Structure 1
Amino acid sequence: MPPKRKCHFTDDLRRKYPCFGKSRSEFEAKCQICDSYVSIANSENFLAILNFFLWERKNMRCTDTRISSILSGSTDLEKHINTPKHARNIRDASTSKSMTNFVVHKSTPLALKISAAEGTLAFHIVKHHNSFKSMDCTSTLLRTLFDDSDIAKKISCARTKTEAIINGVLSPHCILMVSNDLKNISFVSISTDSSNHGNKKLFPIVVQYFDHIQGGIQVRMLDLQEINNETAETVTSLIEGVITKHNLNKKIIAFSGDNTNTNFGGLNRKGEQNIFYLLKNRVNSELVGIGCSAHILHNAIHHGLDQFGLFDIDALVLKIFNFFSIYTVRTNELKEFCDFVEVTYRNLLYHSKTRWLSLLPAVHRILQMFPALKSYFLSQNKSLKILEAFFLDDFSECYLYFIHSIMSLFYEKIKDIEKENNSILEIMAIIGDTVESLRERIDSKFLPLSIKLVFSKLKKDGKGSSCDNFAARALSVYEVTEEYLRKWSELFSEFEINTFNFFKISSF
């Protein structure tokens, strides 16, 4: 019997049929698409192959290429390619994505870029105070917008992963950076304040220090913890634990907080059950206490306005806003009054007592529509008594003008105080300028020009004595406010060093 001839899976076959690869033996080929093995041994004997050639020649099909194909084993590969199973698997593969499109291999340049992109997205969430929920669709959106980017295709950073990156990576890294910076700092001040988040009471621990390498005053948050109460003992223990953790016990020279009894024991700073007293006993006996200067300005203006005795401006603004805020019919009626008196309608603004800068814009908006508002409320059969009494008063508009005038002064000063990198010397200068401005108003018996114009009309109606009474009340507001500021600014007297007067000198 003639010897049998077996075909090998050669490199030529691999190049000709790229869907096949090396198999378990040299006489087989593995179909990568079907994940199956195809034998190419061609085990027919020589006589059978010769009879096949004769049949091929008889049918005019026996060419050199055909003979080479039979002898090389490619016939078996072509038979497999032409099977319905192979065709179906090719079709399925074209509509399905490989797992490599979703799996990120670690320690590769692409993986590092993807991690950097996800970390940047998480930092963006923190920077702009966005909700974690917004990240649920961000990854899908990026894959859709940047379908040609390998990084965007594999970004997977929904709310759970984003929160994990922030809490497990970014937050520890930031705290570590601050701790490393504080190692080279000799003096640090510490601040804290309570923040209610739902039914949770959170206390941030903030440090302020001067670093000439990073460009001056630095403000950093060291910790944020939830506590059960805000007693002096509880908060002091919290501060002690944080400064001990970061080895700051010998570096703390100042404590800053609100001017509450819990923090400082009042204006005279007496008593032993306050945070400032406890920290002086436990951390540094020469600790300096610095109250919130923005609170001082805010409380000063409200303390002064309480002496005016005409109306409660906070309640007045809130009543007017709430009267129209959710009522479409009332708002449409007000728009008609605005058209009648030829005043442009504008939305009324909300004011909150805990938002110190919201009062001036709210008063300004009422003044812009004062003729329309006055006509509207005086035309109502049943109106709120406080609003009816206010708009019936001849000096209601003068009162708003006065509030607007004095609040403009404090509005700018509070904005200056709320800047991030202020020092105690700059704070003292701002409060000093405010006191000086009030003294100038007292000496000149200042009244805004808008009030004087209204006075001229009222005096013609024989209400000169009432105008003088109003001017006297305005003067008393200046005096009471100035006295309040001077009293509270005495707390900063220990920082009055003439050497630092250059802070007030303009640069050449």
Structure 2
Amino acid sequence: MKIESTSTPVTSFFKTQTDDDVTRAECLFANFICEHNIAFNTADHFTKLCKLMFPDSKIAQKFHCGRTKTTQIVKKSLAPDLQKVVVDHLKNKPFSLSCDESNDTHGEKSLAVLVRYFTTEANTRFLAMPICNIGTGENIFKHLNEIFIENEIPWKNCISFMSDNCSVMTGRNNSVISRIREVQPDIFDLGCICHLANLCTVAAVKSLPLPVEDLLIYVYYHFHHSAKRKEQYKEFMDFLDVDPSKILKHCATRWLSLFRAVDRLLHHWPALKSFFVSHEDVDKPGRVKRCADLLSNPEMHMYFHFLRFILPFLMEFNTMFQADETRLPYLGQEIRLLLRKLLGKFVQAKVIKETKDITHIPFKDPALHLDDSFLAIGLSTRAYLSQHEDDVEPSAVSRFHHSIRGFYMAAVDKMVEVSLP
């Protein structure tokens, strides 16, 4: 009798319909975790919760799908099946290839490879992510070629290549695209549209005579790791009636961060200027003195007002092409529209109207430029000039207008160079 009570019934060794339903539930749950980018640790808690929520369900009582099991279902079952669907499309249909390297400086670098193809709609799918610690054109292409060979994907089906616009990826010689053209001569180098707009912005900002980006970085890192400095600064905000808000970090590799950082610094300008000018280390060489000098410079203040005016035009272009739906048919039209907007801010309207191809406008000719009073610098910049007429030297105002023309010319020059045929 004792043996019978502790023995496992023979029926427990056979699969039942309930077991199939449990397996189905576990696969659906693992797929849900991936689809919604939920932490795998959630699976441990959900398994217990499931039994409490559905005590009368046989499936719920048999449901056991912790983080380890969920991970294995994704890696060993779902991923290969979903990958096969993607590879089958790439073997038989045209597609676009996109890749980018991680910029981790402390560990191994990964090369993310995505593909985009059409069925009844546009599909962007993950293909592979090999380790690629040596970021040369030769080595990156080697990894891409190995992926194609391993999955038996013909290069002839790859019709376009998208990447950031660095020389390693898109250079004329010894780059990834130059090697791809050896196996697929008809490939189209699309580049990254958002990178193109960012390159134009970077070129234009660098043309300004004062270090705008440096000031953003100096101020941010002065407060970043110091709770004491933040508390001291609150007194200046309260005294000057500046609404408290976080000083934002500008990251050069993040396309949309510059406008937000500029706008926030302008909001804090009176309090920041007072804080750094009255700082005990203001007379010592270092970051405090640099910040005090730049914040006290009326020209720097004017450049920040101008950037708050002009950057939204470039941001609007960037955000448009970060949408989920396909916008490629509008690319040429939108680039020319942005170019026309920029030209209209410093070139005479008559010249733009009479020129059929705006890329051929001699925009560097001073005779075609607008006068200072008509140059587009923004209402807040005009208001600042009017309010500080006694504080700003005429030579500084003249230098400012000259620099703004240089800003526009640098932006247009870069746009024509990298964006238009």
TM band (smaller chain): 0.7 to 0.9
Relative to structure 1, the CA distance from residue 410 to residue 149 in structure 2 (aligned partners, 3 Å threshold; closer, same or farther) is farther
Distance in 2 separating the partners of 1:126 and 1:418: 23
Distance in 2 separating the partners of 1:222 and 1:105: 39
Say if 2:96 and 2:160, in contact at 8 Å, map to a contact too.
Answer: yes
SS at match of 1:441: coil
| Aligned: 1:385 with 2:278 | no
| Aligned: 1:142 with 2:50 | yes
SS at match of 1:460: coil
Relative to structure 1, the CA distance from residue 380 to residue 253 in structure 2 (aligned partners, 3 Å threshold; closer, same or farther) is same
Say if 2:321 and 2:327, in contact at 8 Å, map to a contact too.
Answer: no
Letter in structure 2 aligned against 1:401: H
Distance in 1 separating the partners of 2:14 and 2:298: 77
Say if 1:104 and 1:111, in contact at 8 Å, map to a contact too.
Answer: no
Letter in structure 2 aligned against 1:258: D
Q: Deviation per CA, 1:172-207, whole angstroms, max 9, x where unpaired?
A: 12112223434552x222222212565222223222
Distance in 2 separating the partners of 1:108 and 1:346: 61
In structure 1, what is the equivalent of residue 19 of structure 2? 111
In structure 2, what is the equivalent of residue 65 of structure 1? none
Relative to structure 1, the CA distance from residue 459 to residue 258 in structure 2 (aligned partners, 3 Å threshold; closer, same or farther) is same
Distance in 1 separating the partners of 2:239 and 2:133: 57
In structure 2, what is the equivalent of residue 446 of structure 1? 376
Distance in 2 separating the partners of 1:201 and 1:99: 51
Distance in 1 separating the partners of 2:399 and 2:31: 58
Unaligned stretches of 5+ residues in structure 2 = 283-287, 348-373
| Aligned: 1:207 with 2:106 | no
| Aligned: 1:485 with 2:415 | yes
In structure 2, what is the equivalent of residue 190 of structure 1? 97
| Aligned: 1:237 with 2:142 | yes
In structure 1, what is the equivalent of residue 358 of structure 2? none
- 1:62-461 mapped onto 2 (5 Å cutoff): 107-182=15-90, 185=93, 187-196=94-103, 199-211=107-119, 214-215=120-121, 217-244=122-149, 245-265=151-171, 269=172, 271=173, 273-281=174-182, 283-313=183-213, 315-383=214-282, 384-443=288-347, 444-461=374-391
Instruction: Tell me how far 1:483 sits from its aligned partner.
Output: 0.8
SS at match of 2:109: strand
Which structure's relative contact order is higher, taking Cα pairs within 8 Å and 6+ residues apart? 2
Distance in 2 separating the partners of 1:431 and 1:343: 39
Say if 2:298 and 2:392, in contact at 8 Å, map to a contact too.
Answer: no
Relative to structure 1, the CA distance from residue 403 to residue 150 in structure 2 (aligned partners, 3 Å threshold; closer, same or farther) is farther
Relative to structure 1, the CA distance from residue 107 to residue 180 in structure 2 (aligned partners, 3 Å threshold; closer, same or farther) is farther
In structure 1, what is the equivalent of residue 370 of structure 2? none
Distance in 2 separating the partners of 1:425 and 1:113: 46
Distance in 2 separating the partners of 1:480 and 1:234: 34
In structure 2, what is the equivalent of residue 43 of structure 1? none
Say if 1:194 and 1:204, in contact at 8 Å, map to a contact too.
Answer: yes
Letter in structure 2 aligned against 1:371: P
Q: Deviation per CA, 1:194-232, whole angstroms, max 9, x where unpaired?
A: 125652222232222233xx22x3222222222342322
Instruction: Tell me how far 1:484 sits from its aligned partner.
Output: 0.6
SS at match of 1:209: strand
Q: Deviation per CA, 1:47-84, whole angstroms, max 9, x where unpaired?
A: xxxxxxxxxxxxxxxxxxxxxxxxxxxxxxxxxxxxxx
Letter in structure 2 aligned against 1:152: A
Moved more, 140-149 or 359-368: 140-149
Distance in 1 separating the partners of 2:258 and 2:25: 42
Distance in 2 separating the partners of 1:427 and 1:386: 42
SS at match of 1:137: helix
Distance in 2 separating the partners of 1:386 and 1:469: 21
TM-score, with normalisation over the residues of structure 1? 0.69
Distance in 2 separating the partners of 1:104 and 1:459: 90
Relative to structure 1, the CA distance from residue 124 to residue 484 in structure 2 (aligned partners, 3 Å threshold; closer, same or farther) is same
Say if 1:416 and 1:430, in contact at 8 Å, map to a contact too.
Answer: no
Instruction: Tell me how far 1:146 sits from its aligned partner.
Output: 4.4
SS at match of 2:21: helix
Instruction: Tell me how far 1:388 sits from its aligned partner.
Output: 0.8
Letter in structure 1 aligned against 2:155: N
Say if 1:104 and 1:154, in contact at 8 Å, map to a contact too.
Answer: no
SS at match of 1:218: strand
Distance in 2 separating the partners of 1:478 and 1:454: 21
Letter in structure 2 aligned against 1:457: Q
Say if 1:133 and 1:159, in contact at 8 Å, map to a contact too.
Answer: yes
Percent identity of equivalent pairs? 25
TM-score, with normalisation over the residues of structure 2? 0.83
Relative to structure 1, the CA distance from residue 342 to residue 218 in structure 2 (aligned partners, 3 Å threshold; closer, same or farther) is same
Unaligned stretches of 5+ residues in structure 1 = 1-29, 37-88, 494-508
Say if 2:112 and 2:130, in contact at 8 Å, map to a contact too.
Answer: yes
Say if 1:459 and 1:467, in contact at 8 Å, map to a contact too.
Answer: no
In structure 2, what is the equivalent of residue 39 of structure 1? none
SS at match of 1:222: strand
Relative to structure 1, the CA distance from residue 111 to residue 442 in structure 2 (aligned partners, 3 Å threshold; closer, same or farther) is farther
Instruction: Tell me how far 1:295 sits from its aligned partner.
Output: 1.4
Distance in 2 separating the partners of 1:196 and 1:327: 27
Distance in 1 separating the partners of 2:337 and 2:245: 34
Say if 1:458 and 1:467, in contact at 8 Å, map to a contact too.
Answer: no
Say if 2:90 and 2:157, in contact at 8 Å, map to a contact too.
Answer: no
CA RMSD of aligned residues (A): 2.8
